[in-house]
Copies of this chain bind each other. A is one copy, B any other.
Amino acid sequence: MSYCDTCVVRNRAICAALDNNEINALNGIGRRKTLAAGDPLIWEGDDSTLVANVIDGILKLTNSTEDGREQIVGVVYPADFIGRPFGKTTSHSVTALTDAKVCLFARSDFDRFAHEHPQLEHKLLKRTLDELDRTRSWMLLLARKSAEEKVATFLLDMSERLVDATCAAPHDGPLDEFDLPFSRQQIGDILGVTIETVSRQMTRLKRDGILDLPTRRTVRILDRQALVDMAG
């Protein structure tokens, strides 16, 4: 009897590539860990000794300059994979944004296991290729878009990404109302702007009737088309 039997991401994480025997073997080398919001999991520049699957919660990947400027270079959701297998060092920090549960492996154990299970590597490869595409698209936003375009793009992105988080209704398509899993500071760190700029743009969107902001964390999209036009 393994933890995995009851794992909510069993069929969405890379583990979906494995049959029951294999899952049991994997279970033998992994362990669960619970993180509180704000807890670090991996530090930038650490030796790469850990990899993990996200079971529940949201975590951020960050890079920082020596003088403390921080950039969020990725956000991981349940079923996503964390860490740098087959390599010596990790180039970014991983920190829980919400309370989170992860399934943790020693990198060396995972590397060995992956090597013996090509289907697992295949899943991981697809995931990594997807993530690379997403990351590259984000570069265009960071480098070329105005603050207005950044915020509009971000909100649209969220309304799509958070669909399975709110697994409530089986309707397709993006959400028109959702709770942001980020503070204003974190949104700034994602978009490469300051907290004040995020705030000003949000206020403006509300004033123009494109959004409603019932609470600080809640967003209701009133005019999606306007947002799309604005996203550039």
Contacts and interface: CB of A to CB of B under 8 A. Distances in A.
A87 B143 contact: no
16 contacts: A63-B137, A65-B145, A65-B232, A71-B139, A73-B137, A87-B130, A91-B133, A92-B133, A118-B121, A125-B125, A128-B128, A131-B132, A132-B135, A135-B139, A139-B142, A143-B192
B133 A135 contact: no
A136 B136 contact: no
A195 to B, nearest CB: 14
Contact of A85 (B61, B118, B129, B192): B129
B130 A128 contact: no
Contact of A192 (B86, B92, B125, B142): B142
A61 to B, nearest CB: 7
A63 B128 CA distance: 19
Interface residues of A, number: 43
B133 A136 contact: no
Which of A64, A86, A92, A129 has most B Cβ within 10 Å? Answer: A129
Interface in A115-165: 115, 118, 121-122, 124-126, 128-133, 135-140, 142-145
Q: Copies of this chain, how many?
A: 2
Nearest to A90: B133
A65 to B, nearest CB: 5
